[in-house]
Amino acid sequence: MVNTKDDAVNKKDIIYLLEKIAIYLELQGENPFKISAYRKAAQALETDPRSLSEIDDWSTIKGIGKGTQSVITDFLESGTSETLRQLQEEVPEGLIQLLDIQGLGGKKLARLYQELGIENKADLKLACENHKVAELKGFGKKSEEKILTGLLSLNEQPDRLPFDAVRGVRRSIETALANMAFVERFSIAGSMRRMRETVKDLDFIISTSAPNKVKEQLIKLDHVKDVIASGETKVSVVIEDQFDVSVDFRMVADEAFATTLHHFTGSKDHNVMLRQLAKSRGEKISEYGVENLATGETKTFKSEEDFFNHFDLYFIPPEVREAKGEFEHSSTFNRLVTLSDIKGDLHMHTTWSDGAQSIEEMARFAEAKGYEYIAITDHSKFLRVANGLNEKRLREQRQEIERVQNHFPNLKILAGVEMDILPDGSLDFDNAFLQELDYVIGAIHSSFNQTEEEIMTRLFTAMENPYIKHIAHPTGRIIGKRKGYHVNMEKLIKKAKETHTILELNANPKRFDLSSEWLKVCQEHGVKVTINTDAHSKDTLDFMAEGVGVARRGWLLKDTVVNTWPLAELEAYWKKKQE
């Protein structure tokens, strides 16, 4: 049998592969039975609760036939798929991009391809403008307009890029810099370092005594599309990714690293305030150090910490440098939550619903992070698209959790659920059943367009429920894509306080929900927050670090974040809901 390592292919990868092949076949106009065989196989895998390492005989899975089985085996052995590769040769590349247009699925696109010969954006635009699409049976004028609108907004470069859209570019630059010759120290700076949820560009500070040698390497980084500037102190490039990402690099001698880093971390308003403070002391701050105006001497610093101390300030973390009171409060920032304070993750998914890893695998990775507890919180039955679990399957899952628990003496695994709050305001399970679970999350995943009143009624029902410990991603927003539902945050925060309901900071970088602005209000009102990854695979358990960054930006103190507490304290807090 095929053995897979944890870090190789996961089950989600196979499901995506099968679905992708189905789409290619559909575009080719293949026969429906063949297409549906791939969809059925994907579905069968999705509903099978086992992870890859637990499946040893594929032929016993109902829905996976000989053909799909050989595609899977090929993929597991080689990491690629010959079937997909062939299809990719046959189907025009430009056609695949059109699948990103809202409302244009494989079936419709297949007809545009076969009946109108549309192979790319330009073809589609022309066909819409000449009303060829509207003339097709089953399309019509409305759908033509919709397709055209969708086409025009496709990959349109927004003014500010969502955090999530640039984090990949940031990572690959950091990897390159870590291995680059002549680089002494480097750091991200600018709004990305401050954990803003959108950024205009990325900024990096590099210390080196050979700026020209570094420059030569920077302009040759992978995927550089344009070089905007390339001097001795500054290099600016555009990196081609999902969007075009502008990146500024500043190169300085190592003794100026701390002050340059501070200068280009900003924010601009923070810098202005610190400059005023310096001026009142007869000093002048520049990128290169602090000048004593009387003596003309310039002082440099080993670290930003030394730099702040010079002004009789405690270290002000980059996340709060927004000229919003950080100077007056600099003595409190050593109490902000840090990643090492985190003792557990209370929201994650497994192969039982729409996750990529088994319970055991998630436990193993959580243990490696040094966590003391986790909650397994797969979706509830209402959420069919995510293979949500009903009462019977949740009871079966608890047995599996108990079995796994035996292997992890140092990690408490809570049997939980991410329960849907239904559109009519009712909950997916009754209290008699909820009582059986260790951990219940309330979440909205449907009817986003309801009125504020309807949404608040749903949220309040959940918050009043004695078994619901926290509300997941409270606004439902996706940064740069979706506004979320109509939550009245002031009311939500007040209610959370009254009912001892914890609010989530969902650490998924697409969400960061709650935002740092609302976290600040939670902190002020004494509302407790839990930072969770909502991981659907082992890698996304790493979102915790970014979640903590957002929490710090929201001035959250360690004590406010409940998953820094020992489990016993958490359990005592939950009891308050039932009093």
Residue 442 beta carbon to ligand DGT: minimum distance, rounded to whole angstroms: 34
* 45 Cβ contact partners less than 8 Å away, ≥ 6 residues apart: 11, 14, 15, 18, 61, 64
Q: What is the smallest separation between the CB atom of 438 and ligand DGT, expressed in angstroms? A: 42
- Burial of 314-342, coded b for 16+ CB within 10 Å and e otherwise, reads eebbbbbbbbeebbeebeebeebbbeebb
Instruction: Identify residue 1 by its one-letter amino acid code.
Output: M
Toward ligand DGT, which CB reaches closer, 81 or 265?
265
Residues of this chain, 244-273, that bind Ca ion according to CB under 5 A: 248
Q: Which of 571, 537, 545 is nearest to 195 (CA)?
A: 545
CB 407 within 8 A of CB 400: no
322 is an interface residue for Ca ion by CB under 5 A: no
Residue 527's closest CA among 557, 548, 550, 547?
Answer: 557
CA distance 143 to 122: 18
Q: Which 250-269 positions form the footprint of ligand DGT (CB under 6 A)?
A: 263-264, 266-268
Contact 345, 518 (CB under 8 A): no
Total count of residues recorded for the chain: 579
Residue 272 lies near ligand DGT (rule: CB under 6 A): yes
Q: Specify the pairing of strand 244-252 against strand 198-199.
A: unpaired
504 binds Ca ion (CB under 5 A): no
List the one residue out of 319, 312, 314, 310 whose CA is nearest residue 329. 314
**Which of residues 107 and 324 has its CB atom nearest to ligand DGT in the complex?**
324
**Shortest spacing between CB 248 and ligand DGT, in angstroms:** 6
Q: Enumerate the β-bridge partners of residue 404.
A: none
Residues 6+ apart with CB under 8 A from 357: 10, 11, 51, 350, 351, 365, 537, 538
Closer residue to Ca ion in complex, CB, 91/245: 245
Output the smallest distance, CB 355 to ligand DGT, in A: 33
The 3 state secondary structure assigned to 515-553 is: CHHHHHHHHHHCCCEEEECCECCCHHHHHHHHHHHHHHH
Which one among 191, 377, 515, 537 touches ligand DGT, defined by CB under 6 A? 191
Q: Is 201 in the site for ligand DGT (CB under 6 A)?
A: yes
Which one of 25-33, 99-107, 200-208, 565-573 is the stretch in contact with ligand DGT (CB under 6 A)? 200-208
The span of 123-131, 194-202, 496-504, 541-549 binding ligand DGT (CB under 6 A) equals 194-202
Q: Which does 142 bind (CB under 5 to 8 A by kind): Ca ion, ligand DGT, none?
A: none
Compose the 151-190 pattern: x for residues touching Ca ion by CB under 5 A, - for all others: ---------------------------------------x
Nearer to ligand DGT, 164 or 418 (CB): 164
Mapped to the 3 state alphabet, what secondary structure does 210-254 carry? CHHHHHHHHCCCCCEEEEEEECCCEEEEEEECCCEEEEEEEEECH
Task: Look at residue 543 and give the partner it binds from Ca ion, ligand DGT, none, a contact being a CB closer than 5 to 8 Å depending on partner kind.
Answer: none
Question: Taking the complex as a whole, how short is the minimal distance between the CB of residue 529 and Ca ion, in angstroms?
Answer: 28
Residues contacting Ca ion: total by CB under 5 A: 5
CB of 155 to Ca ion, least distance (A): 21
CA atoms within 13 A on the CB side of 479: 22
Comparing CB distances to ligand DGT, the nearer of 250 and 538 is 250
**Look-up: residue for tokens 């993750």?**
345
b/e per residue 362-395 (b: at least 16 CB within 10 A): bbbbbbebebbbbbbbbbbbbbeebbbbebebbe
> Which of residues 131, 141, 171, 200 is near ligand DGT by CB under 6 A?
200
Nearer to Ca ion, 190 or 476 (CB): 190
CB of 248 or CB of 345, closer to ligand DGT: 248
Check residue 292 for interaction with ligand DGT (CB under 6 A).
no
Among ligand DGT, Ca ion, none, the one that 266 touches (CB under a kind-dependent 5 to 8 A) is: ligand DGT
Q: Which residues share a beta bridge with 284? A: 291
Interaction mask 203-232, Ca ion, x per CB under 5 A: x-----------------------------
Q: Is the dihedral of CA 226, 227, 228, 234 positive or negative?
A: positive
Question: Is position 123 an interface residue for Ca ion (rule: CB under 5 A)?
Answer: no
- Whether cis (ω within 30° of 0) applies to the bond prior to 267 is yes
Q: Which stretch binds Ca ion (CB under 5 A): 23-31, 196-204, 210-218, 291-299?
A: 196-204
Q: Are 75 and 17 in contact (CB under 8 A)?
A: yes
Residue 217-256 contact track with ligand DGT, rule CB under 6 A, x = bound: ----------------------------------------
Q: Which of 118, 399, 119 is nearest to 130 (CA)?
A: 118
Nearest residue to Ca ion, scored by beta-carbon proximity: 190
Q: Which is nearer to ligand DGT, 162 or 476 (CB)?
A: 162
Return the one option of Ca ion, ligand DGT, none that residue 267 interacts with (CB less than 5 to 8 A, by type): ligand DGT
- Number of chain residues interacting with ligand DGT (CB under 6 A): 14
Compare residues 110 and 192 and give the one whose CB is closer to ligand DGT: 192
SS (H, E, C) 16-59: HHHHHHHHHHHHHCCCHHHHHHHHHHHHHHHHCCCCHHHCCCHH
Distance (Å, whole) CA 177 – CA 180: 5
How far apart are CB 274 and ligand DGT at their closest, in Å?
9
- Residue 197 found at the interface with Ca ion (CB under 5 A): no
Whether residue 567 has a cis bond before it, omega within 30° of 0: no
CB nearer to ligand DGT: give 266 or 289: 266
Q: What is the DSSP letter of 389?
A: B
Provide the minimum distance between the beta carbon of 25 and ligand DGT in the complex, in angstroms, as a whole number. 43
268 binds, among ligand DGT, Ca ion, none (CB under 5 to 8 A by kind): ligand DGT
Which amino acid does the sequence have at 332? T
Structural tokens at position 323: 């000229």
Residue 197 binds to ligand DGT (criterion: CB under 6 A): no
Residues of this chain that bind Ca ion (CB under 5 A): 190-191, 201, 203, 248
Residues of this chain that bind ligand DGT (CB under 6 A): 190-191, 196, 199-201, 203, 263-264, 266-268, 271-272
